[in-house]
Structure 1
Amino acid sequence: MPWQIWERWGDDHLNPAMAQEDPMCWQAWQDNPNAMWNWNGLYRNGVGGNFQAAVPNGQLCSGGRTEGGRYNSLDAVGPWHTTDINNNFTIQLYDQASHGADFFRVYVTRQGFNATTEPLGWDDLELVKQTGRYAPAQNISFDVSVPGRTGRHIVYTIWQASHMDQAYFICSDVTF
């Protein structure tokens, strides 16, 4: 979410039209503008693959990083802008630091989950893809298929970096 917010409003983040056109982003900017400039801070060290213990229900989009309130607004329930995608899509990541990955796990919310009224929990997700290792590189992409999904969903990606026990968490609001 922060990347998409920054992509839409980064150079124009003081525009008062954001409050009407993109109220969830407006709320996120008001809560903590630093989170929008530091989207790459959504990681946890030392999780050891036990993501459900480290990231509580209702805090998945913030990666459980609620200390100081920096990323709290990313867990806000409401009408976030969505990106239209097909049931077969490609995840493309740019890793400026070339961390590489032990794996990526991609989850999609179950059919019927309503992200505009319900906080995201682990039981709302279905694992749809787990990759293998990726060598350190700046551009990583892989294909995902989720047949039968329609409507609004959240794509939740966990990126287990290969340089150390460091996991990144990415929420994407989409419409299939």
Structure 2
Amino acid sequence: MQPHGPAVPTRRTLRVLTIVAAALLCLLPWAQSASAHGSIIDPASRNYGCWLRWGDDHLNPAMQQEDPMCWQAWQADPNAMWNWNGLYRNNVGGNHQAAVPDGQLCSGGRTEGGRYNSLDAVGAWKTTDISTNFRLHLYDQASHGADYFRVYVTRQGFDPATQPLTWSSLELVRETGRYAPSQDITFDASAPGRSGRHVVFTIWQASHMDQAYYICSDVNFT
């Protein structure tokens, strides 16, 4: 298990990082434009964490040994990290389990033409240390607001380092109400009885249209 996850950036830092990422995109012929959407940045989503740690050093060969799950993700499709805020599906109609099959939860059912498929890879992703009473932070550059958030946590005994994520491996621990449009939304959740490595799986149903985001955050309950 990793002792610490990525530090949560301040709002000003996020703006700087977004500008830097946009500048890098102009230099990379294979990168598509970053979408102005959002994701959970604390505890960091898989692709946001990879971007935060390696966005300015993604060609470093040391990543293969230091962070093998991020390494395979960068090799598979760097746009999964440059577009860390664009993992969503449109027109799901609230039927999330039908739209996102078992084993494909972290890629949103292989959405966006398979851009995020590497996030479904089973292995020891870097984790963020949290307690069983924890807070989630959504950064939403476009201020879409939310109809609701649903927060799931893997059941005790499930090992995300060796098992693919399935709906039956998750327990719903929090469903929120609506949130007004804002770039920063925080809310609390609780997962009693958890210890060690887990996945926090968040569904963010945006308010501006029928657009659902599927977000995997790897955590270590201390």
Give the TM-score normalised by structure 1.
0.98
Partner residue of 2:76? 31
SS in 1 for 2:203: strand
CA displacement 1:143-176 (0-9 Å, x = unmatched): 1111110011000000000001000011001010
Q: For residues 1-150 of structure 1, what are the structure 2 equivalents within 5 Å? A: 1-66=46-111, 68-150=113-195
8 Å Cα contact 1:32/1:69 also seen in 2: no
Partner Cα separation in structure 2 for residue 95 and residue 69 of structure 1: 22
Q: For residues 149-164 of structure 1, what are the structure 2 equivalents within 5 Å? A: 149-164=194-209
Q: Once the 2 structures are TM-superposed, how far is the Cα of residue 68 of structure 1 from its aligned partner?
A: 3.7
Partner Cα separation in structure 2 for residue 122 and residue 137 of structure 1: 29
Q: Once the 2 structures are TM-superposed, how far is the Cα of residue 106 of structure 1 from its aligned partner?
A: 0.1
SS in 2 for 1:26: helix
8 Å Cα contact 1:107/1:126 also seen in 2: yes
Partner Cα separation in structure 2 for residue 59 and residue 86 of structure 1: 27
Identity of aligned residues (%): 78
Q: Once the 2 structures are TM-superposed, how far is the Cα of residue 65 of structure 1 from its aligned partner?
A: 2.3
Q: Once the 2 structures are TM-superposed, how far is the Cα of residue 116 of structure 1 from its aligned partner?
A: 1.0
Partner Cα separation in structure 2 for residue 157 and residue 68 of structure 1: 21
Runs of 4+ deviating beyond 4 Å: none
Partner Cα separation in structure 1 for residue 203 and residue 68 of structure 2: 26
Question: How many correspondences in the alignment?
Answer: 176
Partner Cα separation in structure 2 for residue 107 and residue 98 of structure 1: 23
8 Å Cα contact 1:77/1:117 also seen in 2: yes
8 Å Cα contact 2:88/2:111 also seen in 1: no
Partner Cα separation in structure 1 for residue 199 and residue 127 of structure 2: 9
Residue segments in structure 1 that go unaligned for 5+ positions in a row = none
Residue segments in structure 2 that go unaligned for 5+ positions in a row = 1-45
Partner Cα separation in structure 2 for residue 17 and residue 66 of structure 1: 29
Q: Once the 2 structures are TM-superposed, how far is the Cα of residue 67 of structure 1 from its aligned partner?
A: 5.9
Q: Once the 2 structures are TM-superposed, how far is the Cα of residue 66 of structure 1 from its aligned partner?
A: 4.9
C-alpha RMSD of matched pairs (Å): 0.9
